[in-house]
């Protein structure tokens, strides 16, 4: 049976993953209506992945005899100035998620819940991959600056990334 302290720390993470899904959905909507269909496809997919991260935690808590709980969420930002701004915010958000996963892992160590600590390893590895992918995308966007044809190619590349490879976070 999972301890209450661990259960409630995981429930906080469930909330953060749900917010991530909504944030990327909001970003995808902005991209789709601002001429970046490839980035929209990429972010719709990321939104789905975050929902999967949330669900994986929900099942884990319930399977360990706890009870997953949902919390109220504030609306994510809906307006972004540029594609670069979108991915800067993705990067910043993923760094925040990494730090929250690390904090959650620390709770499991303090509670000597090594089973949950072991389960969280998947998220720790996942965050390394996500930060690396987002950093690469951001570097490319920064490189082309405001060049329209460069932006067009990056958008195409994001679309290809969504189609060709398993999405970041896919099992």
Nearest 5°: CA angle at 165, between 162 and 170? Answer: 90
Least gap, CB of 97 to ligand FEO (angstroms): 4
User: Does the protein bind ligand FEO through residue 20 (CB under 6 A)?
Assistant: yes
Name, in order, each residue with C-beta under 8 angstroms of 112's C-beta and a sequence gap of 6 or more: none
**Distance (Å, rounded) from C-alpha 83 to C-alpha 143?**
13
Size of the site for ligand FEO (CB under 6 A): 7
Query: Helix, strand, or coil here: 167?
Result: coil
Residue 171 CA to residue 162 CA, distance in Å, equals: 15
Q: Least distance in Å: CB of 123 to ligand FEO? A: 7
For residue 18, state whether it binds ligand FEO (rule: CB under 6 A): no
Q: Which residues contact 21 (CB under 8 A, 6 or more apart)?
A: 47, 48, 50, 51, 54
Residue 17 is a binding residue for ligand FEO (CB under 6 A)? yes
- Residue from 18, 113, 130, 155 touching ligand FEO (CB under 6 A): that is 130
Rounded to whole angstroms, the Cα distance separating 140 from 66 reads: 44
Query: Least distance from C-beta 135 to ligand FEO, angstroms?
Result: 13
Give the x-and-dash track for 24-63 against ligand FEO (CB under 6 A).
--------------------------x--x----------
DSSP string, 60-96: HHHHTT--------PPPP---S-HHHHHHHHHHHHHH
Nearer to ligand FEO among residue 20 and residue 151 (C-beta): 20
Q: Which is nearer to ligand FEO, 4 or 102 (CB)?
A: 102
Cβ 94 to ligand FEO, closest distance in Å?
Answer: 5
Nearer to ligand FEO, 4 or 121 (CB): 121
Interface positions with ligand FEO (CB under 6 A)? 17, 20, 50, 53, 94, 97, 130
């Amino acid at each position: 049976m999972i301890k209450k302290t661990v259960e409630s720390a995981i429930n906080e993470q469930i909330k953060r993953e749900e917010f991530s899904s909504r944030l990327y959905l909001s970003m995808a909507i902005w991209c789709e209506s601002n001429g970046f269909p490839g980035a929209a496809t990429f972010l719709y997919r990321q939104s789905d992945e975050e929902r999967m991260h949330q669900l994986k935690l929900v099942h884990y808590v319930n399977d360990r005899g706890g009870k997953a709980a949902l919390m109220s969420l504030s609306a994510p930002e809906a307006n972004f100035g540029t594609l670069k701004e979108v991915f800067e915010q993705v990067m910043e958000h993923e760094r925040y998620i990494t730090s929250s996963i690390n904090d959650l892992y620390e709770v499991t160590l303090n509670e000597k819940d090594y089973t949950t600590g072991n389960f969280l390893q998947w998220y720790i590895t996942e965050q390394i991959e996500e930060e690396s992918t987002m950093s690469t995308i951001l570097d490319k966007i920064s490189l082309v600056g405001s060049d329209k044809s460069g932006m067009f190619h990056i958008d195409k590349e994001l679309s290809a990334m969504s189609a060709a490879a398993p999405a970041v976070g896919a099992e």
